[in-house]
Structure 1
Amino acid sequence: MSSSAYDWSTSRLGDPGAWPHALRLTADLLFNTPLPMLLVWGSEMTVLFNESYAALAGPAYGKLPGGNVPPVMPPPLAAAGEALQRAWQGESAIAAGRDLHFAGAGADAYDLYLTPVRASDGRVAGVMCALAAAQPTLADTQDAGGPLHILVVENNLDSQYLVCEMLRAFGHEADGVGHPDDALARLAANRYDVLFTDVSLPGMSGVDLARRAVADAPTMQVIFASGYGDTLLRHVEFPYLSLQKPYELDQLQQALDAAARQLAVRA
């Protein structure tokens, strides 16, 4: 089902033929996805949602598919808090374990996955929000599958040391290198669950390094750290998580939670 399957004549968005390409593409993705999803679009906060979200929210939420400014923020967007703000700033974000109560729900706790949607000029024009039943915490995952084996690539030796120490304090195994060539040698010689790399590295970007790593080990999870937000990550074609420097410990913890969950899914 695509955006053209609905009558948008009475909605704020009007004829889909006049929509920007990013909105048409994202709306089609939203309507064809079985996961409950919402899209908040533009400075006026126009909200679209799919049938899965409508079934979850119940009949009081309104008629499909949305396309109007709601009187109050939908519960997932209201609960996302700081993660929603980060998404508006161009960073993919996760709001884990949010308590939401829906008429048609079988669960009360949800993980919210927020993805910025960029217009043709590169600015963030909207935010996609996907809902999934909350997954086990990192501690639960560790009990089931043990610590993560993480390769940290950071050419600032002080930062490299600090990140490795934090990861070890979380109970993981962490190796640190400062140059992409050293990282490639480590990746060839060892199995890692997670590549945690700075985007800006000497000789090769962290994106190119991760691309080579994922080609050789498709289940490997990638976490990028960057002082430039997601500006340098717009055309990355594989799944990843990103942290904007300086990041908080809880943000690092959330990224590791997400990486552990993905590894468990692919196991």
Structure 2
Amino acid sequence: MPDLDTSARSTASYDWSATTLGDAARWPLPLRLASDLLLNSPLPTLLVWGQETVLVFNEAYGALAGPGYGRVPGGSVPPVLPPPLAAAGANDALNRAWRGEAQVVQDAALAFRHPGETHEHRFDLRLSPVRDDSGAVRGVLLALAPPTAAPVQEDAGDASLRILVVEDNIDSQYLVCEMLKAFGHEADGVAHPDDALALLASRSYDVLFSDVSLPGMSGVELAQRAVADKPALRVIFASGYGDTLLRHLTFPYLSLQKPYELNQLQDALAKVARQAAA
């Protein structure tokens, strides 16, 4: 566990005005209480608030997760679910917590990408529903506690792929590329479709991983032009608007709905690797 400032922390310790949550003085009481608890906790802790999946986290989690996961104290919707939420979702614990049931996921393996290396840690995930005065669950508090179970061996990763990431949100692009590298793949990132087409013309890629909404042309049009030039190229779309724009496409593709979980991205890449091997 990294050394942290021992000063007391609360919502008043930070300026929230530029975040999705806005001025803390206008927050509902359950959000403020839960945030005060996590910000002053020595354990790495997350708060998932509302159906928009707004994320708040403390300094202990920020130090553990590394620079790719945003700045303390959060207060925004993440483009990709952080590893603790992905692990809790895979075990159905997150859904149960949203239904009002406190949950514990024992000995979860979490991988965090830092510059130049990946750090793997094991934690017990402790999920607590956060209710409003009517009893409705408004959020989920997730604390990362020392594990109580012995670690188990995990399978080796999938075959390496060469992936071009097209995402105009620079922070999201960096995070996705770093995660792909952590999975053992090669990844380049660009923000504009024109830059993507230039790279596709000059380099060899196995996968085009593109946001659907891009400046200049859509990710759909980009993929159509790319596949026309290189029919063997595999395409994975990331979209916050569903698959409506993809239904007319005549080439094979995979689609992930934002915010997607890490295991969903890994499953999509594993499927592409199997197709490439075949």
Instruction: Give me the TM-score of the superposition, normalised by structure 1.
Output: 0.49
